[in-house]
Amino acid sequence: MILSKLREDALNIYKAGLQAVDPHAAILKHCSRQGDLFLVSNKKYNLGGFKNIYVVGAGKAGAAMATAIEEILPDEITEGAINVKYGHLAPLKKIKIHEAGHPVPDEAGVSGTQKIMSILNQAKEDDLVICLISGGGSALLPLPAAGISLKEKQDLTGKLLACGADITEINTVRKHISQIKGGQFARLAAPARLITLILSDVVGDPLNSIASGPSVPDSSTFQQVLNIFKKYNLESDISDTIKQHIQNGLTGKISETPKPGDSIFNKTQNVIIANNFQAVSAAKQKAEALGYNSMILSSAIEGETREVAKIHTAIAKEIAASGNPVKAPACVISGGETTVTLQGNGKGGRNQEFVLAAALNLACLDSVVILSAGTDGTDGPTDAAGAICDGQTITRAEKSNLDAEKHLNENNAYPFFEALNDLVKTGPTNTNVMDLRIILVGVA
């Protein structure tokens, strides 16, 4: 098969995946209106039963999600406020947008969150709160516990990262020095009814991790926080304010995060409106429509990027050699999010690095195209979503005096693919369900 056709197909398969997780479309797919009824997934709400409807939330897809909610409830929304990443805007009528810092939270985020808090403070028994959560929601919804500054909170997270605490430990601490995370948002919304619509950017869609689980029960405790401080010998390193806060939690002066079984969760509904699996499923559907024998490998791929690339190319080689696990013309799709252990100071992102590593492993394997790109349009700190390569990429690079191995070793995939015109650019997509990787193997 002609490489240019495979490349075109790979891009179209990726775009089909993107479309399936468009936040606006995802809201309309899960929420609708039948007269006075508001239908959310498998539940029905009588709009006449609510005095006020408030819309709040945070995340990169916030504006697009809010637009859809305003379309469904054009006259019913009392008031609303959402925090989004700088520049991630959309025209809204009732819901106020606050731009804020991401991935590093800033004071604009805190002031936006305070606005959200003031709305929640008004919410009563017969009100409805709709909460819109998407990727970046944790950094974009910062509200340290009373007395703790944003900087203190960030310093502590930095120290935990530096001493090798794992993500579960970091989240346990974060939930206990926040006013929002770990189910506390649900407590603030109570006694109103709470519907949380979630665009998942975490592998496996664990509700207690996405945006630090603002509206679901939390099983972690102040005691565990203390144990984590002890484990990493951080006790002397922690500010007095945080120390006092944890102490107050241990003695019961400050409430624990809401635990499983707490009655506040009787009036909550959490709905994943889009996730990585939907993107890979739509990509698979498109690939099948284009005539490829298609397979979803997994939507939960994690690990060191160049190692993950090795396995993807091993699968491509097996398809070419023996027709396993699927016969050519074949499409293998995977999702999830890999990590990069930095070795150099180059420009790139995990998707571009994946494609560069894959290109090196492909050698001169004909009729193979590999694409990897994020669904948010921004791979690492670059303006590309990802990159695309084929079995001839390294040969083409050598002709242009581009040293692929050197670029990989320096985490410098962007200039490599820029020079070859092989970056995948989408612009901001206003969504984020992690990454898509597409392997196409044509008939040799």
Write out the residues near a copy of itself by the rule CB under 8 A.
Answer: 203-204, 277, 295-304, 307-308, 310-311, 314-315, 317-318, 321-322, 324-325, 336
- To a copy of itself, the closest distance from the beta carbon of 360 in angstroms equals 12
- To a copy of itself, the closest distance from the beta carbon of 269 in angstroms equals 21
- To a copy of itself, the closest distance from the beta carbon of 279 in angstroms equals 13
- To a copy of itself, the closest distance from the beta carbon of 270 in angstroms equals 17
Q: Which helix (H) or strand (E) holds 368?
A: strand 368-374
> Helix, strand or coil for residue 340?
coil
Q: Which residues contact 408 (CB under 8 A, 6 or more apart)?
A: 306, 353, 356, 357, 360
In order of 40, 42, 53, 125, 189, the CA distances from 194 in angstroms are: 12, 15, 10, 11, 7
Which of 318/418 has CB closer to a copy of itself?
Answer: 318
In this structure, what token pair is assigned to residue 255? Answer: 């409430």
Residue for token pair 């995060």: 257
In this structure, what token pair is assigned to residue 303? Answer: 């690990």
Q: Which residues contact 241 (CB under 8 A, 6 or more apart)?
A: 147, 148, 149, 152
Contact 432/198 with Cβ under 8 angstroms? no
What is the distance, to the nearest Å, from the Cα of residue 79 to the centroid of all Cα atoms in its chain? 26
- To a copy of itself, the closest distance from the beta carbon of 298 in angstroms equals 4
Which of 211/315 has CB closer to a copy of itself?
Answer: 315
> Helix, strand or coil for residue 436?
strand
Which of 109/329 has CB closer to a copy of itself?
Answer: 329
Which of 268/411 has CB closer to a copy of itself?
Answer: 411
Which of 203/216 has CB closer to a copy of itself?
Answer: 203
Q: Which residues contact 397 (CB under 8 A, 6 or more apart)?
A: 359, 403, 404, 416, 419, 420
- To a copy of itself, the closest distance from the beta carbon of 25 in angstroms equals 21
| HEC profile of 78-98 | EEEEEEEECCCCCCCCCEEEE
Give the number of other Cβ atoms within 10 Å of residue 401's Cβ.
Answer: 7
Which of 131/207 has CB closer to a copy of itself?
Answer: 207
- To a copy of itself, the closest distance from the beta carbon of 295 in angstroms equals 5
Which of 104/314 has CB closer to a copy of itself?
Answer: 314
Distance linking the first and last C-alpha atoms of the chain: 6
Q: Which residues contact 224 (CB under 8 A, 6 or more apart)?
A: 172
> Helix, strand or coil for residue 337?
coil
Task: Measure the CA–CA gap between 146 and 249, rounded to whole angstroms.
Answer: 12
> Helix, strand or coil for residue 34?
strand
- To a copy of itself, the closest distance from the beta carbon of 233 in angstroms equals 18
Which of 60/407 has CB closer to a copy of itself?
Answer: 407
Which of 244/298 has CB closer to a copy of itself?
Answer: 298
- To a copy of itself, the closest distance from the beta carbon of 325 in angstroms equals 5
Which of 242/301 has CB closer to a copy of itself?
Answer: 301
- To a copy of itself, the closest distance from the beta carbon of 41 in angstroms equals 18
